[in-house]
Structure 1
Amino acid sequence: MRRRLLMLMVFGMFILSVLLVGCGKSSDEGTGKNQASEKVKLTFMAVGGSNQQAYTNLMESVAEQFNNDNAYHAEIEMEWYENQQYKTKLATLMTQNSVPDIFFTMEAGFMKDYVESGKVFSLSEAFAYDSEWFERFNDGIFKATTFDDKIYAMPMGQEIVITYYNKKIFADNNLAVPKTWDAFMGNIKTLKEKGIIPISMATQDAWVSGNLMLELSGGIGGVELFDAIVDGTTTWDDERYVESGKAFQEMVNAGAFPEGFLGLSYDEGRTLFTTEKAAMYAMGTWETKAIIGAMGSDENVGVFLQPPKKQEYADTHVGTLAKLYAISERCEHKEAALAFLKMLSDPDVQEKYVVDCGGIASTKVTIDENKLDKVTQQVRQLQQEVKNPLIAIDRQFGANIGGEFNNISVYIASGADPKEQFTALQKYAEQETKQ
């Protein structure tokens, strides 16, 4: 009992030094000794692609504020990478045990191996000590970043996959926002007949196809199918996954996507929509500000949730955590790193994340709707309709099985037999689990 009490007292002193940021300055600071010494460097690495300028601007601003005023004489040095480039670099650094102090990650299976290999610092003790910090967050937000009852990463927000649409193109062609699969396919047919690209789709990055396949599976098998594949009570060759592949091919055969979509880059996919060559764009809510910026305003941009094949699954869609950050176990200045993470959850930063970046907050911060563009307002409403979010497969199952799911989604989109592809995925998954 005495040993446990002593440990708690020692840890309490450590966490207190972590979290009481800016409560006072030492006499050394007053005499300028600390200012003259070299600052502590904290390395930070994250995804910040061409479509996320508003977000990287926000983060650079928060880092500058932190660098100018923190109790640890610490300075954040930020590095940004495109999505796929980042995943490759992070995996390499993990292997080399050279992970940055603070790094972007994804939930569930993506980070599981990193956690189990001891590369990630647990946030649970800090949250337990500072209950005010923990209670800022939406209920259940840490479920997918918790392993063995410990929390290992903190999200700034949440994201859902939606369909952006051009209001003017819809109005000019007497199209309504579809509520059913048949209406959705009817809109595709009408647009194709008018010589308009129905949906911008660029699958050079395989995860784009993977997300659509997952979205389709949610509309066919609901969250029950997702839960079953996660807990192992079904297999990848489940007929509901095969049906999802057939639905994907139904869209392809109807001419839903641009010619050569299998080879189009991510940016080219967005550009087809923002230059009004495509009527719709199926993508995550992280694209909102990039789309509005490219189109000059929010006037002609609307959003909706893709209708399911089976109407009873209208509340099931792809949804993930956003801007998820973890601290490396090898970080030598964890107090400073924790202070920076806490800063990202501050109400003013969370408000800017929603207002300036079009994000969905991870905390219970109150947002003045009058500050939001029309698209972000609609996104926030749609997010309330998603009762059963599906974590992207390459996040849930990690790079190997998840990556192969994305690959077979591309193969199916190109015409491969769905049954054969999902059977092959099942065999691949069985081999992976044996290793």
Structure 2
Amino acid sequence: MRFRQLIMLAAASLVLSACSAGSLGSSDDEGGEVSLSFLVDNSEDGVRIGERLAKDFTAANPAITVKVETRPQGTEGDNLVKTRLSTGDMTDVFQYNSGSLFQALAPQKNLVALDDAWTGQLDENFRTTVSSDGKVYGAPWGGFIAGAVMYNRAVYAKLNLQVPKTWSEFMANNAKIKAAGTAPVIQTYQDTWTSQLFVLGDFHNVSAAEPDFAEKYTKNQAKYATSAAAIKGFQHLQEVHDAGYLNKDFASAKFDDGLKKLAQGEGAHYPMLSSAISTIVANYPDKAKDVGLFAIPSDDPARNGLTVWSPAGVYIPTSTQGAKLDAAKKFLAFIASPAGCASTGAASPPVGPYAVKGCALPADVTQVAKDTQPYLDRQGGSSLALEFLSPIKGPALEQITVEVGSGIRKAADGAALYDKDVRKQAQQLGLEGW
């Protein structure tokens, strides 16, 4: 499983039969009724959520029917979306990524800007990822995912430990956990993508210390190796290894092994994306309540906060016009409402907070989701992951973080190597300053 796959929760290959050509982009039906076509990815969650939203929206708006169409995931799906937009053959509404991939769709040219009142109820983190030149273009598809430390609450309760906000508090907890005979920090380097969270999940702390880091980084004016804040993620990898706080099989363990250790209390901490709780719920349902979450600790407890990955968005292409455009705007307003959040949650239990003010998590949501919510509720308590603020992410990061986390390479050398790794990508993107 790759990093992006876990973020998108794309685990299945269920594909619905394609709607007929007559139902896609067809003119409004007689009698004032409107039929909207809605393109979603073909993951199991994507299909379930799309179908439930369509059903519940039509129940509240009987004159508007929403028909779901599916597309592949990954690069094939990306290319299909771009092709259909460029040829004017896109469905009336479609679901797609937010952030840099959204920007690659040339929203000002290809998408309908939204000036509806509901956009003022969007979480600011999400709004940033679906905006261009101050205009909002999307409604949120699901909730936020956090890059943080998932921890075993039963271990914490047994040892009378408190959730740490600072790195020194975290390391002190690790010492007590090791003394009690439990692995303090789980790492699963056989699946190399899992090694990145101490770096990527630390970005809130980087931006809190250096608010302009993302902008300077994109312009080649800031580096991981020379930023006192940004290098700490690499230093954290080295420190937990050098202190002997990792599970003994960290080099050969896989992602599923890590989740098992965490759920069963064989390890206390697992730096991971919060969406991983879905696998724990599926495989260890009686242990899911024992798993909580806290932000990557920082040096300053007053500025400690959570790094979040924004939900995908739902957009309207400029090819949608007339009565269909009015209906499509109503559909997006529904998605970005408490009723839409409830519909989404009924189709797929939320793994994190919704991106709409007034959308409350259900009472039976996981502890991981509950622990994530206060960070988003607190002013300055959360920040977007760097990939939503900069298009630069080097392909070798997961190999470099494995080396640093395994004691093969020092933190300073790893950070410097990663700075070199991103140069080629930045040049391919044609960014200024590279």
TM-score by length of 1: 0.71
Corresponding residue to 2:167 among 161, 171, 181: 181
In the alignment, which residue of structure 2 is the partner of 1:234?
222
* Letter of the structure 2 residue corresponding to residue 274 of structure 1: A
Question: Separation in 2 of the partners of 1:347 and 1:116?
Answer: 26
In the alignment, which residue of structure 2 is the partner of 1:301?
291
Question: Separation in 2 of the partners of 1:243 and 1:337?
Answer: 45
Question: Separation in 2 of the partners of 1:199 and 1:306?
Answer: 13
Matches within 5 A, 1:215-254: 215-216=201-202, 218-219=204-205, 221-225=206-210, 227-231=212-216, 232=219, 233-240=221-228, 241-254=230-243
Deviates more, 1:140-149 or 1:97-106: 97-106
Larger Rg: 1
* Letter of the structure 2 residue corresponding to residue 227 of structure 1: D
* Letter of the structure 2 residue corresponding to residue 176 of structure 1: Q
* Letter of the structure 2 residue corresponding to residue 89 of structure 1: E
Structure 1 position 105, deviation (Å)? 0.3
Change (3 A) 1:161 1:70: farther
Contact 2:198–2:234, Cα closer than 8 Å, also in 1 = no
Structure 1 position 337, deviation (Å)? 4.8
SS of residue in 2 equivalent to 1:311: coil
Question: Separation in 1 of the partners of 2:248 and 2:144?
Answer: 32
Corresponding residue to 2:134 among 149, 155, 162: 149
Over the aligned positions, Cα root-mean-square deviation in angstroms equals: 3.9
Structure 1 position 147, deviation (Å)? 1.9
Question: Would you say how many aligned residue pairs link Structure 1 and Structure 2?
Answer: 384
* Letter of the structure 2 residue corresponding to residue 362 of structure 1: A
Matches within 5 A, 1:207-286: 208-216=194-202, 218-219=204-205, 221-225=206-210, 227-231=212-216, 232=219, 233-240=221-228, 241-261=230-250, 264-286=253-275
Question: Separation in 2 of the partners of 1:300 and 1:60?
Answer: 32
SS of residue in 1 equivalent to 2:212: helix
* Letter of the structure 2 residue corresponding to residue 392 of structure 1: A
Change (3 A) 1:406 1:95: farther
Matches within 5 A, 1:36-115: 41-45=37-41, 57-66=48-57, 71-78=63-70, 86-93=73-80, 97=84, 101=91, 102-107=94-99, 109-115=100-106
Structure 1 position 318, deviation (Å)? 1.0
Change (3 A) 1:28 1:142: closer
SS of residue in 2 equivalent to 1:114: coil
Structure 1 or 2: more helix by fraction: 1
Contact 1:168–1:300, Cα closer than 8 Å, also in 2 = yes
Structure 1 position 360, deviation (Å)? 0.9
Unmatched tracts of structure 1, length 5 or more = 1-23
Corresponding residue to 2:145 among 148, 153, 159: 159
Question: Separation in 1 of the partners of 2:39 and 2:83?
Answer: 16
Question: Separation in 2 of the partners of 1:140 and 1:215?
Answer: 15
Unmatched tracts of structure 2, length 5 or more = 1-27
* Letter of the structure 2 residue corresponding to residue 275 of structure 1: Q
Matches within 5 A, 1:126-141: 127-128=114-115, 130-131=116-117, 133-139=118-124, 141=126
SS of residue in 2 equivalent to 1:357: coil
Structure 1 position 247, deviation (Å)? 1.9
* Letter of the structure 1 residue corresponding to residue 163 of structure 2: V
* Letter of the structure 2 residue corresponding to residue 273 of structure 1: L
TM-score by length of 2: 0.72
Contact 1:229–1:236, Cα closer than 8 Å, also in 2 = no
Matches within 5 A, 1:384-403: 384-385=377-378, 387=380, 389-398=382-391, 401-403=393-395
Fraction of identical pairs, as percent = 17
Question: Separation in 2 of the partners of 1:249 and 1:97?
Answer: 46
